[in-house]
């Protein structure tokens, strides 16, 4: 009885039940190539000798790498891309340069009247803030202006932090404006998330909102 053992697409016929095998299988071929066995069957079987040569050629091809090193210019460019510094987010503390409850108005401060006017400054931005309403129900309107250009800053998210916890979050409109409503008084702070930078500015203590 014959059984077929397949290695790839080449069948290797074998004799079983004590009958002598006709040809060498792939494992025996590899052992011969690696000088781990000595099989006299090759001397009398031209088919196995041909298959052995084909195995030698295949293993020789696999043992030689077909990869080539990239040119130095390409390697240098790749290293430059990998080592390029990534943008880092930094936090900047804005300083209060005007507060209508503690200072007289000056040219450039937005709004007038009894509402509290605050101007915060950080790097190249000014944040104009108006706080109105009662201490239990404040309305906070603001606008972020760039001192270096005439364009409005409109790619930012503004968070209102009350007593150390975020209370509300809004996005700027096309004119760089934002608004918070229904806000009780407390220790209020603005956190403005701009591209690659976060600006934090205090709006003062709770006592300032009771005037």
Walk along the chain (211 residues) and give the pLDDT tens digit of each residue.
333 433 444 444 444 444 455 677 878 877 777 777 677 777 778 888 888 888 888 777 777 656 677 788 887 787 777 665 555 668 899 999 998 888 765 545 555 457 889 999 988 889 999 999 888 889 999 999 988 777 778 889 999 999 989 999 999 998 999 999 998 888 999 999 988 889 999 987 655 555 5
- What is the residue-wise DSSP string for 126-183? EEEEEEEEETTEEEEEEEEEESS-SSB--S-EEEEEETTEEEEEEE--TTSEEEEEEE
What domains are defined for the chain? 2-63 (no CATH), 90-210 (2.60.40.10)
Rounded to two decimals, the pTM is 0.53
């Amino acid at each position: 009885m014959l059984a077929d053992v397949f290695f790839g697409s080449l069948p290797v016929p074998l004799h079983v039940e004590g009958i002598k095998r006709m040809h060498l299988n792939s494992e025996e071929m590899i052992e011969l190539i690696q000088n781990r066995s000595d099989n006299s069957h090759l001397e009398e079987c031209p088919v196995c000798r041909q298959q052995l040569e084909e195995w030698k050629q295949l293993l020789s091809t696999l043992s030689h790498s077909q990869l080539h090193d990239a040119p130095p210019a390409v390697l240098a460019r790749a290293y430059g891309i990998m080592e390029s510094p990534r943008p880092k987010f930094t936090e900047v503390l804005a300083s209060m340069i005007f507060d209508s409850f503690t200072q007289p108005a000056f040219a450039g401060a937005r709004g007038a009247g009894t509402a509290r006017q605050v101007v915060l400054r950080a790097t190249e931005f000014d944040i104009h803030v108006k706080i109105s309403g009662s201490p239990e129900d404040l309305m906070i309107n603001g606008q972020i202006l760039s001192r270096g250009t005439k364009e409005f800053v409109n790619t930012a998210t503004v968070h209102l932090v009350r007593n150390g916890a975020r209370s509300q979050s809004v996005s700027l409109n096309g004119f760089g404006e934002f608004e918070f409503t229904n806000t009780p008084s407390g220790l209020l702070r603005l956190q403005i998330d701009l591209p690659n930078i976060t600006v934090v500015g205090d709006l003062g203590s709770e006592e300032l909102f009771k005037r």
